[in-house]
Amino acid sequence: MAFDADSVKFGRRGLLAGGGALGLTGVLAACGSGDDETGGDAEETGPWSFTDDRGEAAELEAVPTKIVAFTGMAAALYDFGIEIPAVYGPTTNEDGSPTTQAGNLPVADLEVFGNVYGEFDVEAYASYGPEVMMTHYYIDPATLWYVPVESQENITGLAPVVALSANDEALSNTLDQVIGRHAELAASLGADLESEANTASKERYDAAVEALRAAAAANPVKVLACAASPDIFWASSPLMGNDLRFFTELGVDLVIPDGTEASGGYFEELSWETVDKYAADVLLLDNRAQSLQPDALAEFPTWAALPAVQEGQIVGWEAEPMYSYGLAAASIEALATAIQNAKKVV
C-alpha cells in the first residue's frame, strides 16, 4: 500500500501525542466529504447547545459558523458535511500538501493558527473572533489536545470549548464510540446523518468492520502496532488507544508489549538492536510524518530482517485515528486486507 510520508521532524513528545497518546491508509478517499448533500446548513438559526464529554455545555444564540477546531476533529466534521473555516494542529506539510490528519479538508482555504505541536497564535485566534473551539482530550479533561498549556487559559477564555474524549479515564472507550460522538456533534451543527453521502459512508464503515472481524477470525495472525525513528523503535500497547482497543474487540491479535512503564503504559522503546523482541506476522506502522516509512526503513538491517518486512506484511496505521465513518473505513479496510492476505511467519 502507499504510505503518507509527511515530512516533519520526529520528536519523542510528538510520538507521545498520537491516537490514545500513542504518539505517536487507506484505500479510497471517503465519499461525500464537504458535499452540500450531507446537509450542513450555514443558514440554520436558533439557539445551539452541545454537552461535551467533560459534561460541560457550550451554548450560543445560533448554530456557530466561525468554528475553530483541532485539525483531526475538523477533518471528521467536514466529512460529515460541516464546513470548518479555521483549525490548529498538523494541517499541511512543508510542500503545502495535507497531512494525514487533515483528511479531505481544503487546507489551502483554511485559517491555521498553529501547524505543529506547541504552536498556537493566540493573537490571531483572538482577532479571528471564534464562536466556539472544538478539540479532543486524552484521559485528563483539563488538558486540551494541541492547546499549549502555558497559554490554555488565555485561549479558552475567548470562546466556549467543546472537548470530546479520545481516551477516557477508564481506557474503555473505543473508536466506534468516539466516531459516534463526532456524529452527534456534527448533527448538532446541522449535518444530515441520513443523507445519501453519510448513509453510504456508514454502510462502508460497517462493511469494513465486519471484514476486519471476519479476517481476524479466519486468519489469526499476530499484529504489532509500531512506530519508528532513526534511533528508536516503538512497540505500542493496544490497551491505550481507542482504535486498537476496538480492533482487539473485533478479534485482532495485537501484541501487548511488557516494558511500557516508562511511558505510562503507552509503548515500549526498543533499540534497533532489539527491534525483533516481539514476534509479529503483520506490522501496523504509524503512517504519519513523525514515523519513518518503509522506504526510509529499508536501510536498517534489523528492520529488513524482520519476517513481516521480508514478506511485505506492513500496513499503514492512523495512530491518531480519523473520527468519521468514511475516513475510518479506509484504514479499517486496509488492515482487514492485510490480515486476510497475511502469511504466518512467526
Specify the pLDDT at position 222.
98
Query: Does 208 share its domain with 182?
Result: no
234: containing domain: 199-341
Q: How many CA atoms lie within 13 A of 342 on its CB side?
A: 33
Reduced to 3 states (helix: H, G, I; strand: E, B; else coil), residue 94 is: coil
Query: Does 209 share its domain with 102?
Result: no
- pLDDT tens, 286-345? 998 889 999 999 999 999 999 999 999 999 999 999 999 999 999 999 999 999 999 999
Query: Does 123 share its domain with 226?
Result: no
Domain boundary among the residues 192, 217, 234 is at: 192
Q: Give a yes or no: residue 23 inside a domain.
A: no
Question: Around Cβ 143, how many Cβ atoms within 10 Å?
Answer: 12
Report the chain's C-alpha Rg in angstroms: 20
What's the mean pLDDT in 117-146? 97
Contacts of 164 (CB under 8 A, 6+ apart): 52, 53, 73, 134, 135, 136, 137, 178, 181, 182, 185
Reduced to 3 states (helix: H, G, I; strand: E, B; else coil), residue 263 is: helix
Which cell goes with 14? 510528538
Instruction: Find the CATH number of the domain harbouring 70.
Output: 3.40.50.1980
Helix (H) or strand (E) holding 67: strand 67-70
Q: What is the mean pLDDT of the chain?
A: 89
Specify the pLDDT at position 21.
33
Q: Give a yes or no: residue 162 inside a domain.
A: yes
Query: Does 83 share its domain with 187?
Result: yes
Counting every residue written for the chain, the total comes to 346
- pLDDT tens, 227-251? 999 999 999 999 999 999 999 999 9
Please state, in angstroms and rounded to a whole number, the distance separating the CA atoms of residues 280 and 344: 9
Query: Does 287 share its domain with 336?
Result: yes
Specify the pLDDT at position 45.
65
Is it the case that residue 40 has pLDDT exceeding 70? no
Q: Are 285 and 228 in contact (CB under 8 A)?
A: yes
Query: Does 311 share its domain with 212?
Result: yes
Is it the case that residue 31 has pLDDT exceeding 70? no
Query: Does 239 share its domain with 171?
Result: no
What's the mean pLDDT in 28-43? 38
Query: Does 327 share its domain with 301?
Result: yes
Please state, in angstroms and rounded to a whole number, the distance separating the CA atoms of residues 171 and 244: 11
Q: List strand residue ranges (DSSP E) for 76-159, in order.
A: 86-88, 111-112, 132-138
Split at pLDDT 50, 70, 90, the class of 23 is very low
Is it the case that residue 36 has pLDDT exceeding 80? no
Query: Does 245 share its domain with 269?
Result: yes
Question: Around Cβ 251, how many Cβ atoms within 10 Å?
Answer: 15
Q: Give a yes or no: residue 299 inside a domain.
A: yes
Q: Report the domain count for the chain.
A: 2
Q: Are 19 and 171 in contact (CB under 8 A)?
A: no
Which cell goes with 315? 500496513
Reduced to 3 states (helix: H, G, I; strand: E, B; else coil), residue 133 is: strand
The residue that leads in pLDDT, 38 or 345, is 345
Cα 343 off chain centre by:
28
Specify the pLDDT at position 288.
87
Domain boundary among the residues 192, 211, 238 is at: 192
